[in-house]
Amino acid sequence: MDDVSDLTGDEAVPRARLSLLLEHFSRLDDERESWRVMYPLSEVLLVLTCATIASCDDFDDIAAWGRHHLDFLRRLAPFHFGIPSERWLRALVNRVDPILFGRCFDEWIKALWPGRHDLIAIDGKTARRTHDKGKGLKALHTLSAYATNARLTLAQLSVPEKTNEITAIPELLDHLAGTGHLEGALVTIDAMGCQVAVADRIVSHEADFLLALKGNQLTLETEVADYFGTAPADELVTKTTVEKEHGRIETRIYTASSVVDWITSDKSYPGQPKFNHIKTIIRVVNRTELKDRCTVDERFFISSANLDIERLAHGVRAHWGVESMHWLLDVEFKDDLSRYRAGHGAKNMAVVRRFALGLVRADKTKGSVKTRRKSASWDPEFLLKLLQIK
């Protein structure tokens, strides 16, 4: 297939996006003796990626899909010995270094969407059935950096459990900065990530933070709540939005202030770190009206960004996009039901599912994620369109 050809000699022939992906796969180390290899690692990973996009959620389905679409796959790579069995697929995926594997997809994402992103949401998700009590293995927790406007997972990092998010977030931020995604972005994180070290790391990479205050910064949360309860009107900027969908009416009142010089630096213990870059504080009152009841909740945020009520309100609301992505992973990709446990299989499949979902959602074809995945399974040409999406 001509559009999958690589550059040869001095020819200025643009490389297809699929060719770039195969090139990234080829950089992964394969410890097997080359003369004994029937199934090259790059071919195995290509089958894995294509079949996951095409509505296959376990190794049995992936192997079966590969055998049924072998003629199509041979347009992309040699596959001299066909498709490995489910057992071989599982064994090879378990052996691949998950960090290097994730980098392959991250670099390809950068090639597909080279520009910076305005809003990046960072949040974690637990694949609950990946735990194994008998072996003392805790459920896999994956931390994702999600470009909310593009609906695209930019990078992910697997950690042993949810409590490790605090130490993992700075590492993920450094990776985003290294790939050029972070500078100038507004980074939103829930209360778990509302830490001084996280805020400082975001600012050091020339980005802004928008962090939720809830529980873990109780003193600061209380002070911000007290301020909004008594602040004069001329210190406040307000925006109201109303959304009507799914049988309910949601009214959100965003109130922000740049008067933050009153925030104290009192420490509960010597050497306690303090937030150094707060420029804006935000209160969000969310009123939800249902047929039989009405609920009201109030949330508070701190930000290093200048007071721009439109941008901050959009950032608060857009953070929900990463939760939507997690919901789709569970519903459409059966992520929460995954029972991969041995080796690196769980981490690597978590990477593939997020990557696949990003490509499927980025496609403009009419229909749900489920329908587009089914279409990719039925029509290899549509699958190729997803892999080379613009």
Instruction: Report pLDDT digits (tens) over 367-390.
Output: 888 899 999 999 988 998 888 644
Q: Which two tokens stand for residue 389?
A: 């999406």
Q: What is the pTM of this model?
A: 0.76
Determine the pLDDT at residue 188: 94
Considering only residues 209 and 265, tell me which one the structure prediction assigns the higher pLDDT: 209
String of b and e for 366-384 (b: at least 16 CB within 10 Å)?
eeebeebbebbbeebebbb
Contacts of 385 (CB under 8 A, 6+ apart): 363
In angstroms, rounded to a whole number, what is the distance separating the alpha carbons of residues 32 and 41?
A: 10
pLDDT at 37 over 60: yes
CB atoms closer than 10 angstroms to residue 10:
5
Tell how strand 152-159 and strand 186-189 pair up. Answer: unpaired
Residues 81, 92 contacting (CB under 8 angstroms)? no
Q: How confident is the model at residue 133 (pLDDT cuts 50, 70, 90)?
A: low
Beta strand residue intervals within 182-336, DSSP E = 186-189, 208-213, 237-245, 248-257, 280-289, 294-303
Tell how strand 186-189 and strand 119-127 pair up. Answer: parallel
Q: What is the pLDDT of residues 136-175, one digit of tens each?
A: 556 677 888 888 887 888 888 877 665 567 888 999 999 8
